[in-house]
Every structure is written in structure tokens, then in C-alpha cells.
Amino acid sequence: MVAPAHLTDRHPTVSPERLIAQLVPPPTFNDVSFASYRPDPSEPTQAAAVGFGRRFCEEAAKRREGKRKMFGKREALPGVGLYLDGGFGVGKTHLLASIYYTLAAGPAPAAFATFGELTQLAGVFGFTECIDLLADYAVVCIDEFELDDPGNTTLISRMLSQLVERGVSIAATSNTLPEQLGEGRFAAQDFLREINTLSEIFTTVRVEGPDYRHRGLPPAPEPLTDAQVTERAAVAAGATLDDFDALCAHLATMHPSRYLTLIEDVQSVFITGVHPLDDQSVALRLVSLTDRLYDAGIPMVASGSKLDTVFSEEMLAGGYRKKYLRATSRLLALTAAGMESSDPA
């Protein structure tokens, strides 16, 4: 029996070339398409969103191809925009990845990134250089466009405006809270106000429905003991085993752009001693790690407090509420998968 590895022993680095190579959909969406999206028959907005996505791809390809000028040369037309507005787990990322793959199959490249990854890219390359880097792309897909950081939102808005002028189309998803659906298009209004220079080119499409990750799932399971988690980790291939506090402290030693490399080749994550957090910086780093684990489809098994209690009521009432609720939804899905895959029975 080989002792499991520890994430806290890893000290990854990420080169600029690696950041560019990461501008693709998460592994869990490697094989998706518009055809594989299964709309809920009781939610007509989901089927409608597929149609909007297909038409967006057709128009984006035309805009990238541009109009013919003298001597047979072509000039790209300004890009178009699509904004998928909806709650958690309604298939927005599936649709966004389908847009990516459809346009990436054409002559121009496509980019897919979370809002955070895009700000990291701008930080590494610089504002102007980042625009030059993406100017020849057919589309930039942004998953979970965030409105809780005015500085970053303004930065990315300016960048996207210039990309649109150079023929790059933009597709984005929202992070609307379930209870805000139907409240006068709350998220869409916030989004368009923050990126007012882009508002005229965006078509806003609502995608409604319950979180598919919770369909048929029971509430958060009772956590295992530290000993049970350790025993399961010892017999799991490609597993890591870490103490919760030690892992949180380790995450603070690196930029979140390294978290994807941190979990590279890991097949399952085991964590002991989980407890509610009272430090927002620690909580936000955990959110970033959770997103990377979820995107990579890496299951989790934990001991200590229930994972739906990690983020305090005070945090859930604050400005990062959307991030914490999304992370909780994903933690429960990862835990359900982890408990099933590691069950010795």
C-alpha cells in the first residue's frame, strides 16, 4: 500500500505559454455539442437557447470572415455578442463550450476562459498585448462573467470592446442566483450596465431551470471521520490526502492561476478536518480550487463539517454570495461522486 501524495507538497509554476494553452473548455466538457445538450421539456428557454447559440456561431463566423475589399482582401466586421443569463446548473457552460467547439472548427482560433482566467491573462501579458494576442480569434467565450470586482470588470470590458472592434465575437454566461431569476432580468441589467460599451452588440438570452447537479441528490451527506478518509485515500489510485487548514495555507502561497497545475494528474482529493471559514480571503481561494476540481471532474471525500456549512451565513449575505453558492453546489456534486467512487463496499 502506497501512502497518498499531498497537494501541500506541490509547488507548481505556470508559464505564459501554458496560460494560452489553457484557453479551452474544462475537461468535463471535452465532448459536448449543441446536439448533445438535452433541454428540459418543462423549460422552453433551454431549447430556445440552443437555437440562439447556433445562430450566434453562424453570425460570428461571417463577421470573422469579413467583407471583401479591393484586390480580393477581406476586412473583419465588428464582432457580435451573446449573453446567457441563468441560474446554477442549467447547462450554460455546456452551451458556451458548444459555441467554442463550433467556431474553433473554422479557420480562426477560439478562446474559452473563466472571468478570473481572463483577468490573469491580462495581468501576465499586459492590456495591449492581450488584445493583440486575441485579435485574430473568432470568439472569446467567458464563463461566469463576474460583477463583484468593479476594477476587473471595467478592465475586461475595455478589452472586450476593443476585441469586438477588431472582429472578435464575445459569448458570456452569467452567475445569476436562483432566487433572482424572473426579477426584471436582474443579472442582465447589471451585466450590461457594467459593460455599457458592449451593450448594443449583446443578445441576452435567459436559460431557466433547476440545478441539474441536485436533481435526485439527497442533502449534504454526513461527513466521514478522519480515519475513514485516510483509509479510503490509502487505497485510491492517484489520490491526494491533505489537512484542510494546511491546504488552505498552501493555497495562499500561490496565485490561483496555478491551481489547475496543482491538481494535474490527480484522480481524487481527500481532505480531513473541514470546518466553517471566517476569513474571506481563504474562502475565495477555496472557491477557486473548487472550480478547478469541478472543471477537471476530480471527486472529493472529506471529514469534519458538512461541506454546505463551509461558507458562513455572513459570507453568503455579502458581495461574494454568488461565488459561494456556486462553490457549495459544486462541492456537493464532487462529494457525492467521491463518496460513491471510494466506497469500500
> Using one digit for the tens of pLDDT, what is the confidence trace for 211-261?
665 555 556 667 899 999 999 999 999 999 999 999 999 999 998 888 989
180 neighbors 150 (Cβ within 8 angstroms): no
Cell of 289: 480550487
State the average pLDDT over residues 324-340.
Answer: 87
**pLDDT, tens digit, 9 for 90 and up, residues 164-217:** 999 999 999 986 544 454 444 445 566 666 666 666 778 889 898 876 655 555
pLDDT at position 97, please?
Answer: 97
To the nearest whole percent, how much of the chain has pLDDT over 90? 47
Per-residue confidence band for 125, with pLDDT thresholds at 50, 70 and 90: confident
pLDDT at position 86, please?
Answer: 82
State the average pLDDT over residues 22-51.
Answer: 92
> What is residue 134's three-state secondary structure?
helix
State the average pLDDT over residues 275-286.
Answer: 94
pLDDT at position 92, please?
Answer: 92
To the nearest whole percent, how much of the chain has pLDDT over 70? 85
322 neighbors 203 (Cβ within 8 angstroms): no
pLDDT at position 187, please?
Answer: 57
The domain boundary residue, chosen from 165, 186, 210: 210
Query: Domain for residue 259, yes or no?
Result: yes
Q: Nearest to residue 32, comparing CAs of 300, 295, 235?
A: 295
User: Per the structure, how many domains does the chain have?
Assistant: 2
DSSP 8-state code for residue 17: H
pLDDT at position 331, please?
Answer: 92
Query: Domain for residue 328, yes or no?
Result: yes
Same domain? For 119 and 236 the reply is no
Query: Domain for residue 2, yes or no?
Result: no
Same domain? For 129 and 226 the reply is no
pLDDT at position 299, please?
Answer: 94
Same domain? For 108 and 235 the reply is no
* Domain with 133 in it: 31-210
Same domain? For 188 and 241 the reply is no
Per-residue confidence band for 334, with pLDDT thresholds at 50, 70 and 90: very high
How many Cα neighbours within 13 Å face the side chain of 193? 8
Per-residue confidence band for 62, with pLDDT thresholds at 50, 70 and 90: very high
Residue 133 has pLDDT above 80, yes or no: yes
State the average pLDDT over residues 56-72.
Answer: 78
pLDDT at position 316, please?
Answer: 86
* Mean pLDDT value across the chain: 85
Cell of 259: 491551481
Q: CA-to-CA distance for 27 and 43, rounded, in angstroms?
A: 27
pLDDT at position 158, please?
Answer: 86
CATH of the domain at 44: 3.40.50.300
Same domain? For 48 and 189 the reply is yes
Q: CA-to-CA distance for 61 and 138, rounded, in angstroms?
A: 7
The domain boundary residue, chosen from 186, 210, 234: 210
Q: Averaging pLDDT over each range in 63-72, 142-151, 298-307, which range is the top one?
A: 298-307
Same domain? For 204 and 303 the reply is no
Q: CA-to-CA distance for 157 and 194, rounded, in angstroms?
A: 8
9 neighbors 245 (Cβ within 8 angstroms): no
State the average pLDDT over residues 96-102.
Answer: 98
Q: CA-to-CA distance for 337 and 42, rounded, in angstroms?
A: 27
pLDDT at position 183, please?
Answer: 45
pLDDT at position 69, please?
Answer: 54
Q: CA-to-CA distance for 293 and 334, rounded, in angstroms?
A: 8
Cα-flanking dihedrals φ and ψ of residue 172, to 5°? -140, 155
Per-residue confidence band for 319, with pLDDT thresholds at 50, 70 and 90: confident
Q: CA-to-CA distance for 79 and 62, rounded, in angstroms?
A: 9
Same domain? For 167 and 202 the reply is yes
Same domain? For 206 and 303 the reply is no
Same domain? For 248 and 266 the reply is yes
Query: Domain for residue 19, yes or no?
Result: no
pLDDT at position 283, please?
Answer: 95
pLDDT at position 37, please?
Answer: 93
State the average pLDDT over residues 4-33.
Answer: 88
Q: What pTM, to 2 d.p., does this model score? A: 0.76
Query: Domain for residue 329, yes or no?
Result: yes
Strand locations in 146-298, DSSP E? Answer: 169-173, 202-207, 239-243, 268-274
Query: Domain for residue 231, yes or no?
Result: yes
DSSP 8-state code for residue 214: G
pLDDT at position 219, please?
Answer: 63
pLDDT at position 186, please?
Answer: 47
Same domain? For 74 and 169 the reply is yes
Same domain? For 196 and 324 the reply is no
99 neighbors 57 (Cβ within 8 angstroms): yes
pLDDT at position 72, please?
Answer: 53
Query: Domain for residue 25, yes or no?
Result: no
pLDDT at position 289, please?
Answer: 96
Same domain? For 61 and 183 the reply is yes
The domain boundary residue, chosen from 194, 210, 226: 210
Query: Domain for residue 1, yes or no?
Result: no
Beta bridge partners of 303: 224
Q: Nearest to residue 173, comparing CAs of 322, 339, 2, 324?
A: 322
